[in-house]
Structure 1
């Protein structure tokens, strides 16, 4: 390839990482990517139709959302395996955000969901330019587990009525369960039979036909039963005719009067879509030993969401089940996603007629099965064993999703997590260090009862950054440690290694401690980060010759000097 072409590809790769890979595609990968793409489409078809119902939209929109976004992500994404498409969490967020604003108007509902998806995409792209890829870690693992578990419960409660053949209109866990119990007498037995058959097919397929997608098998079997036995004439609800053909490209309408509400929901939707997608992308990248660029991923997901909005779809994210199918089927490159999109397009063009026989109860069963697999009780239990406060955040998020909606629950959980983070950072652990017989180094005298301190010397460690919100606490705790040493204190040593950052307020706190100890005749010493601190002092014009005697490169050097200048030789202090 000419050097000019290589240079051009390198420039394009900065914005569209997939283009160079597509240009250099190896035909040896074609059979694997083709098989993986068809397998992904087999999962995406029933799941996309089912998830559209969670979002409150027509079944065809689930297929639209699985089409152009795959093409766009193949161009702009950095993961070789991630498959984007409808996701349970994003669908639940759409329904929770749009339903109150639409006020029962179907056309307005579609317009609002398209506008919400487009705004979420714009938020993602803006976040990419601001290099906010670190937001992938903003929703902590307990909050994400709580969110997914809450979505799981919401999906389950929203679909059990479809399995039994009657609607459930109440909201919340207890009201829905009470309404379900009160309507059990209205159960439509043919509908229940179809739903249970679909559930049984999904449970048995992994054991009997492990290479086939359970959702596809269940959908085909239930649709075949409806067509063969004429169950639609006996009251079993079916999807009915779906519009054939590919979606038209048109921008979504944006009701300006709802813009403030949509902006807040779009920000939450963008954060959840990105965080959920990155969990999937990172896990498969680690498994297959390659790296992803989270900032570019933000832009890729944003572009994919805008593509979904332009084709009458709805918000998408990284799809874990379809990505897992891509990996299991041997997909090697992003071309597998292109083949999946092509297979879905063929269904939309030529095979929508068979979809008319798919019973609503079977889609409800697909979603119930998905909700049960989505509920992560094992991780929740592990979090409980590690940290009960974090487990409380997970449970609070889970109940909040079901009771108050996903956006409100996320905002509450993130707010509580930030409060806890500030509390931990504002009051970090601090300790006085001493020597433990038989163990190298210096250790906390609080955690080691047999640790011995050094007469005339305090070694103090503050395990956190020294900033404006904990500077007063640092000053108080350091002076308390000095007071506890008694009148014989001669040296007070700060271990600077755990001080990951020091702002102006923190420097003033250090100066205050230095001043108060100097008045008592105690020498103030900082051990660790000597070169870094001297460079900062010199750069800002604060350097004084006496700083050389206050700053030591390591605790070991400070202890040696203390032993030489203060302690008598017959009572040495250990070097280590």
Structure 2
């Protein structure tokens, strides 16, 4: 009996560890039959939307159409097991494909096989960066690139993609690499327009919007591409130089490690890091929004691991980098998808097409794919939201605008690098130059900030200061300057006898530079007859004082449990001193009276 209990306990422990490692398994173990109908419907819809998009993004990345399909299958299955979002669909994404193309194309120098190998290499590197971030629990990086920066980045990438697809829609080839040069040569390029190609693009647009009008829930992109392919096949439009994607090498992918040159691979390390950062932040924005809508939480560190494993699986199955796909996730949610089974169903359907049904894909016109990419990119553009930041948060507006212009003017990769640096500088600026407040009491005796509302007033003889950032060596000097400046300002209005610092928000870790700075402030204040009190984190501060041989208590810096106690003790001390002075005064008066009578 005891042995049975131990076996049961071991099984439970093993399952809990397995569920922690693969969150999708826990969902599948608790699967309810009532969810199946919704998941099947959502899986069919996701596959219908993902198929044409995957082929189009393969063209954008510069690889065979089948690679786009491979980039859906294993990554979706991997995420279904390791991801914590029940609605998120991973797969090819406009931003990731644009980044890969911008990095790999110059390095490949026109060699298609080398191009494909470099794409897989960069995908593997991106996956490993994600796994490293997950190992060190860096899921907080989801907040590193702020929403304004990501808004500017996605808008810039979307416009870059749209301009790049004009060559497929109008039937010419760009000679320039950057957006501004391409726009500058627009008149010359438009004169080279290939009329049959342009007519095919126009037909694709018409079919797409007619389908959207008549059957809003149907996959309009798939129908538009299918109509274009059918026309190319039926009327032999390739004889009129209408470009098509050509032969698609279907079948099962041969699992292999990417072959690469060490020297060239070195050029991919930092772009892969940038790609991992952008992919993760974009994915987390999508995952969190749908998790909040459906009433559950997601684990950022596990999401990093799931994204890393999905990218490595994509590379080993001859695919390219993937991320969270917001449009396909929205389709999943709109069709009532309940669990990760949607990803499994969609992956199986796409795998069937990739293995058995690739022959018809060779007739798909490049102009139709260009239209699909333009439509997908248009949905990423939200310049109105960037402009709206101008009134709500001017700093956020400048961040978004700078990132947006950087992507347009200096390119996708430099723009992403700048976005990462802007996120870093924004963080450092917040930590190094945070907000601060002088505190007082309101009519109810509650401590609050002193501001123009006059709801609170300063405490006579007491200066209460709050610094809204952890104190460390690179902002200690700024803390000292701000405290002394504000102290001097209040001391001019009334005599200050005690300075109380709210220790809770700023004393978060031991830093020798901070402790030395505290000693300097205490010395300066003592010369003026002012005592220094730290309020909050009492045990922690006492421990730090002992470690650094600093003096606390009456002979040093006073430490109290919280602001209210510090203020109460100071007021009691002042009252005691006033009472003592009053007693001394009465005693002096009595002595003088006695002396006067004795003299008489």
Decide: shared fold, TM above 0.5: yes
In structure 2, do the counterparts of structure 1 residues 477 and 6 end up closer, same or farther at CA, with 3 Å as the change threshold? Answer: closer
Give the Cα separation in 2 of the matches to 1:519 and 1:247. Answer: 78
**1:232-280 Cα distance to aligned partner (Å, 9 max, x none):** 3322222233223121211111211212211112211221222222222
Match of residue 130 from structure 1: 136
In structure 2, do the counterparts of structure 1 residues 302 and 421 end up closer, same or farther at CA, with 3 Å as the change threshold? Answer: closer
Please report how far the alpha carbon of residue 80 of structure 1 lies from its aligned counterpart in structure 2 after TM superposition: 1.7
Which 10-residue stretch deviates more, 157-166 or 174-183?
A: 174-183
In structure 2, do the counterparts of structure 1 residues 553 and 204 end up closer, same or farther at CA, with 3 Å as the change threshold? Answer: farther
2:159 is the counterpart of 1:191: no
Which 10-residue stretch deviates more, 370-379 or 28-37?
A: 28-37
CA RMSD of aligned residues (A): 2.6
**1:110-155 Cα distance to aligned partner (Å, 9 max, x none):** 1111111111111211221111111222221122111111110111
- Give the secondary-structure state (helix, strand or coil) at the position aligned to 1:566: helix
Please report how far the alpha carbon of residue 54 of structure 1 lies from its aligned counterpart in structure 2 after TM superposition: 1.4
Match of residue 574 from structure 1: none
**Residues 120 and 269 of structure 1 are in contact (CA less than 8 Å); yes or no, is this contact kept in structure 2?**
yes
Match of residue 261 from structure 2: 255
2:345 is the counterpart of 1:339: yes
2:503 is the counterpart of 1:496: yes
Match of residue 328 from structure 1: 334
**Residues 76 and 299 of structure 1 are in contact (CA less than 8 Å); yes or no, is this contact kept in structure 2?**
yes
Give the Cα separation in 1 of the matches to 2:466 and 2:198. Answer: 65
Give the Cα separation in 1 of the matches to 2:18 and 2:459. Answer: 63
User: Which one of 547, 554, 557 corresponds to residue 546 of structure 1?
Assistant: 554
Match of residue 573 from structure 1: none
Match of residue 475 from structure 1: 480
Please report how far the alpha carbon of residue 473 of structure 1 lies from its aligned counterpart in structure 2 after TM superposition: 1.9
**Residues 168 and 180 of structure 1 are in contact (CA less than 8 Å); yes or no, is this contact kept in structure 2?**
no
Flag structure 2 segments of 5+ consecutive residues without an equivalent.
580-600
**Residues 168 and 179 of structure 1 are in contact (CA less than 8 Å); yes or no, is this contact kept in structure 2?**
no
Match of residue 572 from structure 1: none
- Give the secondary-structure state (helix, strand or coil) at the position aligned to 2:463: strand
User: Which one of 507, 524, 547 corresponds to residue 516 of structure 1?
Assistant: 524
- Give the secondary-structure state (helix, strand or coil) at the position aligned to 2:437: strand
In structure 2, do the counterparts of structure 1 residues 545 and 390 end up closer, same or farther at CA, with 3 Å as the change threshold? Answer: closer
Give the Cα separation in 1 of the matches to 2:133 and 2:223. Answer: 40
Which 10-residue stretch deviates more, 186-195 or 496-505?
A: 496-505
Please report how far the alpha carbon of residue 542 of structure 1 lies from its aligned counterpart in structure 2 after TM superposition: 5.1
Match of residue 534 from structure 2: 526
Match of residue 291 from structure 2: 285
**Residues 464 and 501 of structure 2 are in contact (CA less than 8 Å); yes or no, is this contact kept in structure 1?**
yes
**Residues 225 and 231 of structure 1 are in contact (CA less than 8 Å); yes or no, is this contact kept in structure 2?**
yes
Match of residue 395 from structure 2: 389
Give the Cα separation in 2 of the matches to 1:549 and 1:242. Answer: 76
- Give the secondary-structure state (helix, strand or coil) at the position aligned to 1:336: helix
Flag structure 1 segments of 5+ consecutive residues without an equivalent.
570-576
Give the Cα separation in 1 of the matches to 2:35 and 2:21. Answer: 24
User: Which one of 565, 574, 577 corresponds to residue 566 of structure 1?
Assistant: 574
**Residues 467 and 501 of structure 1 are in contact (CA less than 8 Å); yes or no, is this contact kept in structure 2?**
no
In structure 2, do the counterparts of structure 1 residues 561 and 545 end up closer, same or farther at CA, with 3 Å as the change threshold? Answer: closer
**Residues 478 and 513 of structure 1 are in contact (CA less than 8 Å); yes or no, is this contact kept in structure 2?**
no
2:152 is the counterpart of 1:141: no
Give the Cα separation in 1 of the matches to 2:25 and 2:555. Answer: 56
Give the count of matched residue pairs: 568
**Residues 85 and 319 of structure 1 are in contact (CA less than 8 Å); yes or no, is this contact kept in structure 2?**
yes
Give the Cα separation in 2 of the matches to 1:335 and 1:450. Answer: 56
Give the Cα separation in 2 of the matches to 1:83 and 1:547. Answer: 63
- Give the secondary-structure state (helix, strand or coil) at the position aligned to 2:439: strand
Give the Cα separation in 2 of the matches to 1:30 and 1:416. Answer: 45
Matches within 5 A, 1:329-478: 329-435=335-441, 441-445=446-450, 447-448=452-453, 452-478=457-483
Give the Cα separation in 1 of the matches to 2:461 and 2:42. Answer: 71
User: Which one of 6, 11, 20 corresponds to residue 17 of structure 2?
Assistant: 11
- Give the secondary-structure state (helix, strand or coil) at the position aligned to 2:388: helix
Please report how far the alpha carbon of residue 66 of structure 1 lies from its aligned counterpart in structure 2 after TM superposition: 0.9
- Give the secondary-structure state (helix, strand or coil) at the position aligned to 1:57: coil
Give the Cα separation in 1 of the matches to 2:539 and 2:384. Answer: 47
Match of residue 585 from structure 2: none
- Give the secondary-structure state (helix, strand or coil) at the position aligned to 2:176: coil
In structure 2, do the counterparts of structure 1 residues 311 and 547 end up closer, same or farther at CA, with 3 Å as the change threshold? Answer: farther
Give the Cα separation in 2 of the matches to 1:31 and 1:266. Answer: 39
